[in-house]
Amino acid sequence: MAEQIMKGKTLFISGGTRGIGKAIVYEFASKGCDVAFTYASSADAAIEIVADIESKFGVKSRAYKLNILEPDTYKDVYKLFDEDFDKLDYFISNAIISGRAVVGGFAPFMRLKPKGLSNIYTATVEAFVVGAQEAVKRMEKVGGGSIISMSSTGNLVYTPNYAGHGTNKAAVETMVRYAAAELGEKNIRVNAVSGGPIDTDALKAFPNYEVVKAEVVRRSPLSRMGDATDLTGACTFLCSDAASWLTGQTIVIDGGTSFQ
């Protein structure tokens, strides 16, 4: 078992049931961190993960239902969190919408529609803001904390159909810098972790998934696509004392694909 260097700490992360979020849940729990996470539709998976990490790592874990298309409901979820946990050290805004909610947002430029675009803005930027504001209220009580927004290199590199997500990832990275500038006085650091294409359900939903995958493997000097676990190290680092002077930044983890 990994060294329990996060024992006594608590993480709250949105979207912990699949892909990158699930990998982060396991990584923090393996280091002894208590983990609260949210799900949207995967209630059964959430229950299984809670039981699994509690028995494997001896941490406390709870899962709550959240719809990031209704960011204000974060406040109700945090009330439930308060009944289960007495402190919060780390918050990661990770959940992302897909499927019907992104129709008109995940499309070539000439097929973009305001409704789809604004859904992605709500789920990416507004959900980060409300989730982080509520986190700050709790982190203040323990003298500080670390907040992370997951981002993607689709705001740096042209990715077919990704205009809606890419522009909103650029927006959330800017929001991260504004939050960092104002929350430093509370000893709260705010950063983004931006991944290149990672092999998760979100990417498999791309209509041209096989083409994207082949292109990523070709472009990466490391000759492979990202794995869900490839972003976890940056998250634990940003939550550690080793990153105590690191705020307002985006750490890019892209297998070298952005420069090719």
Ligand X SMILES: NC(=O)c1ccc[n+]([C@@H]2O[C@H](COP(=O)([O-])OP(=O)(O)OC[C@H]3O[C@@H](n4cnc5c(N)ncnc54)[C@H](OP(=O)(O)O)[C@@H]3O)[C@@H](O)[C@H]2O)c1
Residue with the closest Cβ to ligand X? 19
- The residue among 110 and 221 lying less far from ligand X, judged by its C-beta, is 221
- The residue among 5 and 205 lying less far from ligand X, judged by its C-beta, is 205
> Least CB distance from residue 25 to ligand X, whole Å?
9
Task: Determine the Cα–Cα distance for residues 37 and 242; give it in Å rounded to an integer.
Answer: 25
Active site residue 79: no
Which phi and psi (to 5°) does residue 255 adopt? 60, 20
Residues that bind ligand X (CB under 6 A): 14-21, 39-42, 66-69, 94-98, 150, 152, 195, 197-198, 200-203
Query: What residue type is assigned to position 4 of the chain?
Result: Q
Listed residue (224, 207, 206, 203) closest to 215, CA to CA: 224
- The residue among 5 and 51 lying less far from ligand X, judged by its C-beta, is 51
H-type helices in the chain, by residue range? 19-30, 43-57, 74-84, 114-121, 127-139, 163-183, 201-204, 209-219, 232-238
Query: What residue type is assigned to position 168 of the chain?
Result: N
Annotated catalytic residue, options 87, 162, 178, 204: 162
Which phi and psi (to 5°) does residue 147 adopt? -120, 135
Active site residue 162: yes
> Least CB distance from residue 143 to ligand X, whole Å?
28
Task: Determine the Cα–Cα distance for residues 197 and 152; give it in Å rounded to an integer.
Answer: 8
> Least CB distance from residue 213 to ligand X, whole Å?
10
The answer to whether 159 touches 252, Cβ cutoff 8 Å, is no
Annotated catalytic residue, options 9, 22, 31, 169: 169
> Least CB distance from residue 24 to ligand X, whole Å?
9
Residues across the chain: 260
In this structure, the dihedral spanned by the alpha carbons of residues 228, 230, 231 and 232, taken in order and rounded to 10 degrees, is 90
> Least CB distance from residue 161 to ligand X, whole Å?
13
- The residue among 33 and 150 lying less far from ligand X, judged by its C-beta, is 150
- The residue among 14 and 236 lying less far from ligand X, judged by its C-beta, is 14
By annotation, the residues acting in catalysis are: 162, 169
